[in-house]
Structure 1
């Protein structure tokens, strides 16, 4: 009887000790999880930032003369005038291009112009020197198009972007409800996304337009694009973000003198999170 009573007492004590340890671990885990959650909320709130970015790219493989290209520009708002910022950023770049926002028959657009935008081919050869590959400049007479070590750069491009921060969260899920978008735009409609993505990404197409006027050779190609991003970003043990992306892109062949219809694309992010 004595041995059985002692064994029972020891077993009860071990159960109480084990239960106490389990409870202590549960309490400790709850404290740690709560602290991490609170700290994550602090990181989210203190790192959260929102901004608009307007990006313009032009490229040509032939000289353009008497050139003016009208590109879509974001509408101005109380938070940001990206058109004015783009004019300032573009004007401060080197080169022959001039920038201004002008009123057209289809609304305000960014006008990029030049009396002459010259493309001068440059020739290169890749050689090995001291165990390293180098690209050296060669003359046109030395260039052999059949030599794989030789290349020609017969294009000229310019790209710039402007970023304007805002002190509020940007609506990346339904930006047409109040966020700036590229203009002109007509007939927004659902469309397939260019690349597979998460379920919360939704894509749309709309009718847009670009105007171009310039003289050039018949085989010249001009690539032009205007892109607007509205982005919210935050840091919680690594950067995360949600954004909407509005883009109009066109490739023009030969001389131009007027409007070209373009299909614009809009990608939205409906997984917009609020601070904990």
Structure 2
């Protein structure tokens, strides 16, 4: 009996030591890999040529400051070569101004599947056009992309008042989250109104222009696989024909998405 007890105690000690070593190693992986980043993405799609384009679009703000806006104007962002971007004050607050003489849509062909035994080409053949056709059905968007690492944990559960959010933001209302987050009580969703200014002439009176603005704040880490948590703030609007003024745009804020706790 005593021998069995000693054996059980020995096994328990070994298990505790192994578990402690595993916890120590896992926490080390967590601390070494932990990172926090903001992602800001403006996407513009048009099926017609636009002329003399001026846009004011929401930019992330916290306490009237925009580090992402600073990154854009200091050249730390991916921006189309012809676009001129600046941060300006408007009647709806600080916004990103986009100016460009002409935006020409770019349609491309679908990828051609390889035949059995065929080697892929170093430079795939593509058809390119400024109009939709059966040969060129894929519309390529114009994009501004900012990735901004920060040295602090992002408050992804409670970003309102604590983190940069797309501005302006009016009439914020809590709403039920859509699938797949509707059943997750940790996730909070809100809807709101914003503003976008658009001034341009269009080659077609039926020109369809869509603008999608997305802000993502995310903490991520690696412990035998990547985990993360984050908040997402996005605005989507669509215009038809030429435009000359302010427009109401719908926004959505999702907070508390992902995994909390490093294990």
Q: TM range, normalised to the smaller chain?
A: 0.7 to 0.9
CA contact (8 A) 1:45 1:275 kept: no
CA contact (8 A) 2:106 2:128 kept: no
How far does residue 111 in structure 1 lie from its aligned partner after superposition? 1.3
| 2:199 counterpart of 1:213 | yes
How far does residue 92 in structure 1 lie from its aligned partner after superposition? 6.3
Equivalent residue number for residue 258 of structure 1: 245
In the aligned structure 2, how far is the partner of 1:94 from the partner of 1:44?
Answer: 37
Which of 230, 233, 237 is equivalent to 2:220?
233
How far does residue 218 in structure 1 lie from its aligned partner after superposition? 1.7
CA contact (8 A) 1:49 1:234 kept: yes
Which of 96, 99, 102 is equivalent to 2:82?
96
CA contact (8 A) 1:200 1:271 kept: no
Residue range with higher mean Cα deviation, 72-81 or 218-227: 72-81
Task: Describe how 1:108-187 pairs up with structure 2 within 5 A.
Answer: 108-119=94-105, 126=112, 132=118, 136=125, 150-153=134-137, 155-187=139-171
In the aligned structure 2, how far is the partner of 1:185 from the partner of 1:109?
Answer: 12
TM-score (norm 1): 0.80
Gaps of 5+ in 1: 1-14
Equivalent residue number for residue 59 of structure 2: 73
In the aligned structure 1, how far is the partner of 2:63 from the partner of 2:18?
Answer: 44
Distance 1:89 1:252, change over 3 A: farther
SS state at 2:14 partner: helix
In the aligned structure 2, how far is the partner of 1:227 from the partner of 1:239?
Answer: 22
Equivalent residue number for residue 9 of structure 1: none
Which of 191, 206, 210 is equivalent to 1:223?
210
Equivalent residue number for residue 33 of structure 1: 19
Distance 1:177 1:95, change over 3 A: closer
SS state at 2:81 partner: coil
Distance 1:64 1:233, change over 3 A: same
Equivalent residue number for residue 248 of structure 1: 235
How far does residue 43 in structure 1 lie from its aligned partner after superposition? 2.1
How far does residue 95 in structure 1 lie from its aligned partner after superposition? 3.3
In the aligned structure 2, how far is the partner of 1:39 from the partner of 1:139?
Answer: 52
SS state at 1:177 partner: coil
Q: How many residues align?
A: 254
CA contact (8 A) 1:173 1:272 kept: no
Deviation readout 1:136-185 (Å, 9 max, x if unpaired): 55699xxxx6xxxx522474421232122222111111111221111000
Q: Decide which structure has the larger Cα Rg and report it.
A: 1
Residue range with higher mean Cα deviation, 116-125 or 193-202: 116-125
Equivalent residue number for residue 10 of structure 1: none
In the aligned structure 2, how far is the partner of 1:16 from the partner of 1:123?
Answer: 78
How far does residue 127 in structure 1 lie from its aligned partner after superposition? 7.9
Gaps of 5+ in 2: none
In the aligned structure 2, how far is the partner of 1:183 from the partner of 1:58?
Answer: 18
